[in-house]
């Protein structure tokens, strides 16, 4: 498995992109799959995605509930 740091972006304009976030008590990993890559918050390094097939997810933003950053998957 390879780890990839995501790009931190400003909060997207309302309705422009899908933002996926978890409540703090739900943990930090938003996506789990059968791929070979891990997606890390571009700011704090928290694992936001485990076992992701890079390139298979588009036009979403992952919100890190640890450092409150918005992470672009593209």
Count the domains in the chain.
1
pTM of the model: 0.88
Are the C-beta atoms of 65 and 1 separated by less than 8 Å?
no
pLDDT of residue 71: 96
Residue 66: name the closest of 32, 38, 30, 35 by CA: 30
Please give the residue range of the domain that contains residue 13. Answer: 2-72
pLDDT digits (tens, 9 = 90+) for 9-61: 999 998 899 999 988 778 888 888 888 999 999 999 999 999 998 778 888 99
């Amino acid at each position: 498995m390879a780890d990839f740091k995501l790009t931190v972006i400003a909060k997207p304009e309302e309705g422009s992109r899908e933002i996926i976030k978890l409540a703090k008590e739900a943990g930090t990993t938003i996506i789990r799959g059968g791929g070979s890559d891990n997606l890390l918050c571009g700011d704090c390094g928290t694992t936001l995605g485990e076992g992701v097939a890079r390139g298979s997810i588009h036009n979403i933003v992952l919100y890190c509930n640890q450092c409150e950053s918005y992470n672009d998957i593209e």
